[in-house]
Chains A and B, each alone.
Chain A
C-alpha cells in the first residue's frame, strides 16, 4: 500500500442497492464491492437493501462504487433529495407513467402498422385468382416476417408477463393472450415451415398470421385506452396534492420578510398572507382579518371570515385582507395531509360488494384455460375431419381471447376511486369503501340537533328595548361594550349580534367592569351604570321589570329562548333572547333527505317542548327529546331494532359511541378527532348539506359498481360460451378470434368509462 493512502482518512458511503432477491445476491454484491480497489470493507444488508462501504476517497469514489455494483448486475438508487415533497413524488410517478404510456403507444402503433399490411395481404391470398399466381410457401414466409415484429416487439410483454406469472403458479390476463396468440402463431409457423405435415394428412396448410397480429393489435389498443382512462380515475389525489402551497412568506423575529420553501416552515413561525395568496399551512390568526375561501377543503363555496384567534388551513385561498398567522401544523400533520391520507386509504380499501368478483378473479384464468382446452377437444372430436383442426384451434383461441378478467377486476375499484375522489372535492371524506357502500343502504338518518341542525352556538334571536328607550342602537352598543369584557358564550352572542346590527361600529369605552358569577356582568359605560344578565342579577340590584317586559320575557322563554335582562342606571331597559339557531340550510337539507326516501329522526337533550318546536321548524316528524349524552347510542340501537339501517350524524366527542354504533356514522363539520375516528364518513362542511351529498354520492357510486359488475359478469358468461361455439349447433355461428379480441378490448374500457361517469357528479 502506498504511503499516501495510509494518511488519507477512510470515508463511509451507504448505497441503496436495487435488484437483490436473495441472500446469494447480497453476498455477490458484497464480494463485488470488496474486490473494488480502495474499498476496505463492504457490508450488504439484504433486508434493507443497503450496502455500507468504507473506502479510501483517493482511490475510488461513489461513482466507482456504483459502477462496481452495476457491473455485478445490480442497480444503485440515486441519492434521495434531502426533502422530497409529496408533489414531487407524484410528479415522478406521473413522469414514469407517461413514459410507460408512450412505450405502450409505440408498441401499439408498430402492431397496427404491420397488421394493416398483414390483414389485406392475407385476404388477397384467399382470392382464387391470387392463389393461382403466388406460390403459397413464399407468401407464408412473407407473412411470417411481417408478423414476427408484432409478436416479439409489440406483444413481447404478454409472453414475458405470462411466463413470470406461470413460474409463480399464477395466471393473469396476459396468460390468456399469450396462450391464445401463441397457439395461433405456432400452428401457422408449423404450416409455413413444414406444410408437408398437413398436406400428407389431407389438410390444408392454413396460416393464422392475420389472426395473431390482429389480436395483439386490438388488445394493445384496449390497453392504450385503458391506461388513458386509468390516469383520470386517480386524478383526485393529484388535484389534492396540487393544492399544497410551495412557499410561505415568513416573518422573521427581526421584522424582515422572506419567501421560503414550505418545507422550511416550522410550528411557531409567523407567516404573512396577502390578498389573493394561498395560506401556506395550518395555523391560528395572530392579527389582521380577511375572508378565506375554504371550498377546496370543505366544499363550502362561501368564504369564511377570519379574525385574530381563528384557525386557518393550508391550501385555502385568502380573498380580501392581509393577515398574519402563527403556524401550528406543518407537513403530514396539516388538514390537507389528513384529507389526502383519508382519500388514499379509502381508495385502497375493498368494498364488500366486490367479494364475489374477487373470488371469481382468483380462479378465473386457469378456469378459462380449462374451458378452452375442452372446447378444443370437443370441436376436434365433433367437427368434420377435414376442418376439425382449424375449427378446434380457432374456437380455442377465441375462448382464451374473449375472456376478460380485467373488466371484473376494474369494476369496483375504479368506481370507488372516482367516487371517493369526487366526495373529497365536496368536503365528503369517506373512510373506506365499506362506508360508501353502507351509505346507500341507509333508511333512517338520526340527527343530533345541536351542531347539526343548529349552529351549536347561541345567537341573539330577539332584541326588545323597552318602549321608552330613545336610541335602541346606542343602547345595544352600550350592552355589547360590557359583554365584550365577559367570557361567557351568551355574552359573545350579544357582541356578535351588536356588531352585525351596528355595522361593527366601535364600541364605547368601559370602566369598572365586574362579572357576577352565574348571573351576568356590569360596568360603567359613558357614565351610566349598565347591568346585563339573568333575572336574578336585576333582582339583586333591586330592579323591577315593567309588566310589559315581564310578559314579553315569559313569552320568549316559552319559545325556548334564554332571556338576558338589561338595566341602565337602575331601570330595566331591554330584553335579549338568545337561542341556538337553526342553520339556514337545515330545512332544505332535511327536505332533500326526505325526498331521497329517508326518514329523518332528531335527537336532543332539550325538553319535549323545545324539541317539538325545532322539529316542526325543519319538518321532522319523529324525534327523541331529553336524551342524555350517554344514551345516544341506545337510541341508535332502538331504531336498528325496528329493522332500520341507521346513519347517525353528530359532531361532538359524546357522539362517538353513537357514531360507532350506527350502521353509518357521519361526523359533521371539522368535528373532533374522536368523532372522525368513529365515523365512516367525515363531512368537512358544517351543515347537513354534506349528509345529502354523501348519500347521493354513495347511491350513484354503488349504482355504477352494480352496472360494472353486471356487465363484467354477463360479458364473460355470455362471451365465453359463444366463443366456445355454443351457438353453432343452433345457428351455425362461431366467433372469429379477431372479433373476440375486439370485444375484449372494449370490455375493460367500457367498465372504466362507466366509472368515469361519476366525475360528472354534482351535489344538488
Chain B
C-alpha cells in the first residue's frame, strides 16, 4: 500500500463515518410550539426547503391545529407532505402556502414526511 492509498483509504473511511454521523446521529431538534389564536386554533408556519423548518412542532391535544406549509423550492422531492396517522397526503404547490388542518385527539409523536418518506418532521402532541 503506497502513501496515496493510505491517504485515500483513511480519507474515505473518515468521510463515510462523517456521513453516518451527520445524517443519523447528529440530531438537531428545533422544536417549535404552536401559537394559539383567539379562536383556539393552534397555528404554525412551516417552511419547506429540502426539509421542514421547524421539523418538530409541538401542539396541545384536543385542539385544532393549522399548519401553513410554505414550499420555498420547486425541487419535486418535497412536492407532497404526508401525515400517515391522519390519513393526509397533500400536494404543496411551489412558492405557495398550503394550509393543513388537523385535530390531534391523543398525545404522541406523529411523524410527517415527504411523499417518499425521505424528508421528515414530527408533530409532537402533548
Residue count of chain B within 8 Å CB distance of chain A: 58
Which stretch from A166-174, A269-277, A440-448, A504-512 is at the chain B interface? A166-174
Q: Within the assembled complex, what's the spacing in Å between the Cα atoms of A227 and B80? A: 13
Q: Is the CB of B19 within 8 A of A366?
A: yes
Determine which of A49, A171, A347, A369 lies in contact with B68 in the assembled complex, contact meaning CB atoms within 8 Å.
Answer: A49
Least distance between A69 CB and chain B CB atoms (Å): 14
Q: Is the CB of A349 within 8 A of B87?
A: yes
Q: Within the assembled complex, what's the spacing in Å between the Cα atoms of A141 and B12? A: 30
Q: Is the CB of B75 within 8 A of A164?
A: yes
Flag whether B116 is at the interface (Cβ < 8 A): yes
Flag whether B103 is at the interface (Cβ < 8 A): no
Task: Give the nearest-CB partner of B77 in chain A.
Answer: A172
Q: Within the assembled complex, what's the spacing in Å between the Cα atoms of A17 and B33? A: 21
**Contacts A169-B26, A174-B77, A409-B116 given; does A373 touch B50 at CB 8 Å:** no
Q: Within the assembled complex, what's the spacing in Å between the Cα atoms of A349 and B5? A: 50
Task: Give the nearest-CB partner of A371 in chain B.
Answer: B16
Q: Is the CB of A168 within 8 A of B52?
A: yes
Q: Within the assembled complex, what's the spacing in Å between the Cα atoms of A173 and B90? A: 20
**Contacts A47-B44, A170-B51, A363-B24 given; does A369 touch B19 at CB 8 Å:** yes
At the interface, is chain A mostly helix, strand, loop or mixed?
helix
Q: Is the CB of B118 within 8 A of A48?
A: no
**Contacts A168-B50, A168-B119, A405-B118 given; does A380 touch B8 at CB 8 Å:** yes
Taking CB atoms, residues of chain B closer than 8 Å to A160 are: 73, 75
Taking CB atoms, residues of chain A closer than 8 Å to B35 are: 46-47
Q: Is the CB of B118 within 8 A of A364?
A: yes
Task: Give the nearest-CB partner of A408 in chain B.
Answer: B116
Taking CB atoms, residues of chain B closer than 8 Å to A19 are: 70, 72
Flag whether B53 is at the interface (Cβ < 8 A): yes
Least distance between B100 CB and chain A CB atoms (Å): 11
Contacting residues of chain B (12-42) with chain A, CB-CB under 8 angstroms: 12-13, 15-16, 19-20, 22-24, 26, 28, 34-35, 37
Flag whether A425 is at the interface (Cβ < 8 A): no
Q: Is the CB of B77 within 8 A of A18?
A: no
Q: Is the CB of B118 within 8 A of A171?
A: yes
**Minimum-distance CB pairs A-B, first 8:** A168-B51, A164-B50, A409-B116, A161-B75, A348-B89, A350-B84, A377-B12, A165-B50
- Contact sample, A vs B, 5 pairs, CB 8 Å cutoff: A77-B97, A348-B89, A349-B84, A381-B9, A409-B115
Chain A interfacial positions (CB closer than 8 Å to B)? 16, 18-21, 46-49, 75, 77, 93, 96, 100, 103, 157, 160-174, 223, 227, 344-350, 357-358, 361-366, 369-370, 373-374, 376-377, 380-381, 385, 392, 405-406, 408-410, 413, 432
List 4 other contacts, CB 8 Å, given A157-B74, A373-B19, A380-B9.
A77-B97, A361-B118, A366-B24, A381-B1
